[in-house]
Amino acid sequence: MATQISPASGRDTFVGRAMSRVDGPAKVTGLAKYAGEFAAPNLAHGYVVSSAITKGRITAIDAAAAEAVPGVFKVITHENRPSIAGEAEAYQDMVAPPGAPFRALYDETIAFSGQPVALVVAEDFDTARYAASLVRVSYEAETPHTDLEAQAGSSYDPPEKRDGIKPPPEPWGDAGSAFDGAAIKVSQQYRIAHEHHNPMEPHASTVVVEDDGTYTVYDKIQGVANSQLYLTNAFGLKPEQVRCLSPYMGGGFGCGLRPQYQLFLAMLAAQDLNRSVRVVLTRDQMWSFTYRPGAVQTVSLGADTSGNLQAIRHDALHGTSQYEDYQENIVNWSGILYGCDNVELTYRLAKLDTATPGDMRAPGAVTGVFALETAMDELAYATRIDPIQLRIANYTDTDPVEEKPFGSKALKACFRQGAERFGWSKRNPEPRSMRDGKELVGWGMACGIWEALMMESSAKVTLTADGRLEVGNSTGDIGTGTYTILTQIAADALGLPMEHVTTKLGDTDLAKAPVAGGSWTAASSGTAVMKACRDVAEQAFKLARGLEGSPLANVDFERVVFSKGRIEVAGDPAKSVVLTDVMRQTGTETLEATGSASPDKDFAKQYEAYTHSAVFAEVKIDEELGIVRVTRVVSAIAAGKILNTKTARSQILGAVVMGIGSALHEESMLDHRLGRFMNRNLGEYHVPANADIHDIDVIFVDEEDKANPLGVKGVGEIGIVGTAAAISNAVFHATGKRIRDLPITVDKILAA
């Protein structure tokens, strides 16, 4: 039997299988500690006082009553805070968009509702919270502007582009004329509501002042390097003075990419009082920073009667804050997903009096692909072509923007396998043609697409004489399963049981790695770990080969595999040595190596790398009452090699649930007169409840990709992209009503 040699040089014992989370027991027994749970001697607790106005200035703060409460150390405001860095640039973190970042307690200016205006620091949380209720803040308020459509007139092309976000490409062909001349035209506006991430774990930071004057900082962050950079710049510290840790996160979804103001305030108070401080934000305060901004989009598709696209125009109006130009790639997908000779993509920002928006799971794609894929469904009806056939008619194996082939694109397999699992062939395309009792039944589908990214990353591994391996880097496991997949990769690379591998993450003392986001962690950290393990394997092999009478003498490294604690000649397992024997016999205490990974430039010159999906949804809608149930979703994913079918499936399941929320539930409602989000709790900001979720079927289609040695593309985001469009298309099929405004709530169904 041929030996399966994995790219990691061992056998694929664990990689590719359904392995339970290695951090599962710690999480379910409470051993896993989160940023707001770390203790320190004499720990003080900070509670944030939030602005009651949206725009204007603070005229006075009366903190006397709060400071008179026994147990209160200080009420820190812009008037009495310690000196901090003055220039806005010092507050720019690794993923900051262009602009001047928000500086908490900097001056009397109020730029958004809920802006922190004071930090009450006390000996316990309850005292701080009580005293915070006694702080009296007087304001001079100005009229806020938070209505995106009302600001359309002053929208603009952002002068400075956000790092890592491609601006819309130059138009090609002549989309205007081609659209005008097309036999079939679809042109509509699409809207998506503001959404807030709302992970279970609130934002929290614990700053511990050590005896030697250095700081140990526990922060809710998707990459500790970002917290460290931010603190060193804002507070004028050296990296060796600030160790940042974030071993576990109770959900990130992007709202933990940038350091948030509770980190700044905790460090500010720790320095001011020279004692350890913890600041935990409330659920309400989730609405005072980062969110997925709503957008108004126009998509125009022109096609011939056979459905061949002749023109694509996609325009997006997007909200940002007054002080930063946050940007997403919303419209570019419309130039990549289908082949078309005449394409025009435009993107504009409008300034709103809100906090700066931020990345939320598949930022840009959730918004843009919803509009594109709903428009494609409208085109399918206009041309009377099956939605899958329409997409196949416009299929492209080449990225039309970059004019390079995709390294891999198994989207057709997604169509085929997804349609078969869903039973798509039994669909009667006529709207309102399928029913089940009082409910109309609708079947809809859509495509998803996301970038397969990779970032520079390193990892260090240490093999000890007892055959145990420690693996680590500073990236975060935001609940996705990074601990588990890195453990699998390392165990396979050195032929060890997973129990003998310990993975450490989220600590700036570990090897440098980027924030966990963009679905790039598996490719980036995974490759770095694999390379480091490969290095240690080679060191061990050389020691083994040098042993007297070694069965590996005269064998090349490329010809051995590491399996079951042994180094053996591939195809000739009789020739092997025990790894721990090698260590012992050579008197080796440890072998260590640092591996680094970066995007393959040669590959990138030739190919583009994306993940794809085909999402199928069934809805049942009470015909008279308009109540929607999503009774089935099949999500077929092409994302390269799947490292762990269990944790990867969980990623898709969670993303589909989030997509259902985006389609039917999630909406942060603004009172534009006040400039304030009003439904600031989980009772009134609706995410799907268990009752809203029925069958979700995940398919991973085979796809070989060579963008990185592991062949992985990442699965954190692709599962949400296109899900809302599949549902909105199903709603149309069920009811004959096209709702282009998310979330699809009962009022819209009744009105349509």
Partner 1 sequence: MNRFDYVRAGTVAEAVQAFGSDPSARFIAGGTNLIDLMKYNVEKPGRLIDITRLPLNTIEERDGGLRIGALVSNADLAYDDRIRSRYPLLSSAILAGASAQLRNAASTGGNINQRTRCYYFYDEGTPCNKREPGSGCPAIGGVNRIHAIFGASDACIATHPSDMCVALAALEATVQVTGPDGDRAIAFADYHRLPGDDPAKDNTLKPGEMVVTVDLPAKDYGQHHTYLKLRDRLSYAFALVSVAAAFELDGQTIRTARLALGGVAHKPWRNLEAEALLQGKPATRENFQAAADLIVAEAKPQSENGFKIELARRAIVRGLEQAAAGTPQTQSDKRIQ
Pairing state between β 343-351 and 309-320: parallel
- 437 vs 587 by CB, closer to partner 1: 437
- Consecutive H or E run containing 415: helix 411-422
Does 191 participate in binding partner 1 (rule CB under 8 A)? Answer: no
CB atoms within 10 A of CB 542: 14
Q: How far is the CB of 632 from partner 1 (least distance, A)?
A: 14
Q: Which stretch binds partner 1 (CB under 8 A): 86-94, 576-584, 611-619, 663-671?
A: 663-671
Tokens 């394997």 sit on residue: 537
Q: How far is the CB of 36 from partner 1 (least distance, A)?
A: 17
C-alpha to C-alpha distance for 500 and 315, rounded to whole angstroms: 53
Instruction: Tell me how many degrees the CA angle 399-313-188 measures, rounded to the nearest 5.
Output: 130
Best CA proximity match to 36, nearest among 378, 272, 276, 325: 276
C-alpha to C-alpha distance for 454 and 620, rounded to whole angstroms: 40
Q: Which stretch binds partner 1 (CB under 8 A): 355-363, 423-431, 562-570, 741-749?
A: 741-749
Q: Quick check: helix, strand or coil at residue 297?
A: strand
262 contact partners, CB below 8 Å, separation of at least 6: 46, 48, 203, 204, 205, 279, 280, 281
User: Which member of 89, 678, 695, 702 binds partner 1 (CB under 8 A)?
Assistant: 678
Q: How far is the CB of 747 from partner 1 (least distance, A)?
A: 4
User: Which member of 87, 107, 126, 572 binds partner 1 (CB under 8 A)?
Assistant: 126
Does 396 participate in binding partner 1 (rule CB under 8 A)? Answer: no
How many residues line the site for partner 1 (CB under 8 A)? Answer: 44
User: Which member of 20, 80, 109, 133 binds partner 1 (CB under 8 A)?
Assistant: 133
Residue 307: CA count within 13 A, CB half-sphere? 22
Does 36 participate in binding partner 1 (rule CB under 8 A)? Answer: no
Buried b or exposed e, range 578-590, using 16+ CB within 10 angstroms: bbbebbebeeeee
Token representation of residue 211: 């005896």
- 91 vs 287 by CB, closer to partner 1: 287
Best CA proximity match to 364, nearest among 446, 287, 254: 254
Does 354 participate in binding partner 1 (rule CB under 8 A)? Answer: no
Q: Residue 39: exposed, middle, or buried by beta-carbon count in 10 A (0-12, 13-18, 19+)? A: exposed
Does 752 participate in binding partner 1 (rule CB under 8 A)? Answer: no
Residues 629-658 that bind partner 1 (CB under 8 A): 629
Does 747 participate in binding partner 1 (rule CB under 8 A)? Answer: yes
Check 324, 373, 470, 717 and give the catalytic one. 717
Residues 501-540 that bind partner 1 (CB under 8 A): none
- 137 vs 175 by CB, closer to partner 1: 137
Tokens 């589909």 sit on residue: 656
Does 688 participate in binding partner 1 (rule CB under 8 A)? Answer: yes
Residues 416-475 that bind partner 1 (CB under 8 A): 438-439
Q: How far is the CB of 134 from partner 1 (least distance, A)?
A: 9
Does 625 participate in binding partner 1 (rule CB under 8 A)? Answer: yes
User: Which member of 9, 50, 228, 576 binds partner 1 (CB under 8 A)?
Assistant: 50
Q: How far is the CB of 497 from partner 1 (least distance, A)?
A: 40
Q: How far is the CB of 49 from partner 1 (least distance, A)?
A: 11
- 17 vs 438 by CB, closer to partner 1: 438
Best CA proximity match to 525, nearest among 472, 479, 602: 472
Is 123 a known active-site residue? no
C-alpha to C-alpha distance for 113 and 322, rounded to whole angstroms: 13
Does 746 participate in binding partner 1 (rule CB under 8 A)? Answer: yes
Cα(first)–Cα(last) distance of the chain, in Å? 62
- 56 vs 626 by CB, closer to partner 1: 626
Best CA proximity match to 362, nearest among 632, 685, 721: 721
Best CA proximity match to 510, nearest among 551, 475, 468: 475
User: Which member of 684, 695, 702, 704 binds partner 1 (CB under 8 A)?
Assistant: 684
248 DSSP assignment: -
Q: Which residues are designated catalytic? A: 717
Q: Would you tell me which residues interact with partner 1 (CB under 8 A)?
A: 50-53, 113, 126, 129-130, 133, 284, 438-439, 620, 622, 624-627, 629, 664-665, 669-671, 673-674, 676, 678-681, 683-684, 686, 688-692, 745-747, 750-751
